[in-house]
Structure 1
């Protein structure tokens, strides 16, 4: 329902009694509570080619084939038709839980939806859209009694074409929109640094000379751009070489060059090679972590990273985790054995009852460990959901 759309038409829902799109989606979720799934609804986006002669009929045919493919006939759904930049397309949200509690199987949903699209393109006289699943689609079409579509796909040359590769993944596209840093610019700079270096130290120096940095991430070394965005180094270098030079640099070659480097983890300080921290706005609706924190807390917020807290860009400031107890316990755990024994004796000598509280202290320490584990999960979840919104436009973090 965003205003960026030139026209929005809410289509008639099926199997729902609520009025209004938001209420209909909520009803879909409520109807799915009996199923054992954490993904009760399924969003599908249908974007017909502008060259189709009868777009309405093509869309109707696609939806009929889609529902038959996934066994969604009769499943409740709601949706909208959009006109954006002169392009007509449709969104639907289906409930995935059947009345008996079983959940619709979405295995291999991408190629299955592409198969439906190839059938519609064939029926309406269109050229097949390039697909990396072309060979498997042709085999499946023959197995399902559609050799006419498989032959048409073969004659088009789709089976011999190089597999198309999207310039950006959905996650990369969201990151690019969030940070205003074009990924291609990062790729070009990283590839230039690669060619201007011969080993790990010179590669790191070449990156820093171009306003980038190299850190240790969860899945390997990551390249940090000027906005603080992290990009897996093997993926950036490999994709840059493939995109700009036509031949991919293997991940093994990247790992071999930087394997000798000792890198700081993401979020452990900066060395002045990036732009000033961008300040976040007010707390999002539904964000309990920052609710009611006010302007004083907002001024401490910066760009988040995988290992960063909510107090500032370096992860410090504030008592957003366990009230500081975790930090104190970590300091106690790192005490040398001798000092720890002296401290224990001194505390025990203060009051005879202290000794009886040691077991309670151990239980408290275990509770803090559980809190820290939970906070680590929440930070990881917040990082993965950063910048994403649900269908109502509410941030997911």
Structure 2
């Protein structure tokens, strides 16, 4: 289970993110503990108000718990992970909120603690929390028998294409996947020897090498988004300069955008629009099916929740009816029957809770399986159309090379004609002894 955490403020913004349903198909508030309010937004306001009595600026500790994509993880595992985190970081007893998100057939959790100790009005110190969480994450993989990522086993083996939130948002504006952009840049870097071959490899994939205003080398997308090259390939600026040389001979960002608009965009606009239209048309039935599945799953969960609530109320009344009152109740107390009945009721209540939780888990596992099967089709459709758009970029680059080659051919023919003319004698007569001078 991958654990990502941060100390932060902005309680209202974080609360809105936890309850956001636009990007998540299902949002479930699992727990609000240690607050007067029982809602997430109310608890966030309490945490912010308490922090105003201290000098602490980052009064919240937020963490996301992401299990492996193919695993159906029960609630008990998440709760055990949260307990281990609290013990490791010294957050036992601190007020917290736990919210589950479901998207694309995957379920992950968000937990938020208030760092403020109400008794001492001081913030809990969370020194080296990243390394401590890494230890907890490794233990969770080992305890549950999950396949551990290489980056968690050895920090040097982490995926070099991991990206920050700002990079993801920038790529989203450009309608590109940030990890894909990084992967493309790193692949081009690996197969290139110099700036010329690197620029050509980038252009075949819809990226253009340019000279940045504030950075040394940058990559410009077809849509005009600018990415720092050193961050894309994960290398230092001096190493990039050592291989590509100074960027002085490259076009500036403005010139590159103008070049794209003049030489590439007119040819590609029609084809790219058509390809994107086809992609949207192919995705629409899958998108509609995803929404219909989401609504059906939500309805099924409401029905189960309502049915379990009614059954729990009915069973609670039945258990309460076993406890007799009046003289008979006094007799039950004297004979010890009342204590036996209370014990029986507690056992039945416990197993009733376990039954309801297992029933809900079975339903969620079935829903997640159904949603993952649909997600496989969605991913395949996306990748197929992404390859089509990438091929359009490659065709545009090849057409440009063919155009440049024709220009060179014309230059060679012109030079050939000029040399041939110089070999003629005055008044246009050929030299009979030597013929046409082709140049040695």
Q: TM-score, normalised by structure 2?
A: 0.45
Q: Which has the higher Rg, Structure 1 or Structure 2?
A: 2
- Determine which structure has the larger helix proportion and give its number: 2
Q: Which has the higher contact order (CA 8 A, sep 6+)?
A: 2
